[in-house]
A = this chain, B = another copy of it.
Amino acid sequence: MIIRKAEKQDFENIWPIFSEIVTSGETYAYPMDITKEDARRYWMEAPRETYVLIENGSIMGTYYIKTNHPGPGEHVCNCGYMVASTARGMGFATMMCLHSQKRALELGYKAMQFNFVASSNEIAVRLWNRLGYETVGRLPKAFNHPKLGYIEAFVMFKWLDQ
C-alpha cells in the first residue's frame, strides 16, 4: 500500500470511486448528478493537494486537502476521503486520514475540520472519533438523505498542532 500525490491521469481511476459514492447521495455534499468534468474540478483542481492510495497497482482510495476558510481561518484545513466500495474495512480510510494529518502539519495547518458529516454515516463518525476528532457542531436537518430524509449533519474538528 502506498499513498502518493494524484497525477492528472489518475482521475480516470478516481472517477468510478467518486461517482459511486456521490450518486448514492448518502455521504458527500456534491450534486448527485455531477458531471465528470465538475468532479475533476472539485476533487483535483480546487483543493490544495490530492492524493491516491494504491494497493496492488490499483487506486483504492483518494483524498484531498484544502484550506477550510481563508484569512482568519487559514490555519484550519479540510479533507475529504473516498475508498472504493470493493476495498472497505481494510483500514484505508484510517491510513489516508493519518497521512493527511501529517501532511496538514507539513503544510502549516494547525487543525482539521470536517464541515458536513451525515449523522447516519456511523462508520465514518466512529473512525474520526477514534482518531481524535470531536463533534463540535450539530446541524439540525441539514443533510437530505435519500432514504432517511432530513437528518442531522455533524461538524467535526481536531487540533493537530500539540
Residues in chain A within 8 A of chain B (CB atoms): 22, 25-26, 28-32, 34, 69-76, 110-111, 113, 115-116, 118, 136-146, 150, 153, 155, 157, 159
Contact = CB atoms under 8 A, between A and B. Distances in A.
B118 A141 contact: no
Contact of A143 (B28, B73, B142, B146): B73
A29 B32 CA distance: 28
A71 to B, nearest CB: 5
B70 A31 contact: yes
A44 to B, nearest CB: 17
Contacts of A141: 110-111, 159
A82 to B, nearest CB: 14
A32 B71 contact: yes
Given A115-B115, A139-B136, A29 B72 contact: yes
Given A32-B71, A71-B31, A142 B118 contact: no
A113 B136 contact: no
14 contacts: A22-B71, A25-B72, A28-B72, A29-B70, A30-B70, A31-B71, A69-B142, A72-B146, A74-B144, A76-B142, A113-B142, A136-B139, A136-B140, A140-B159
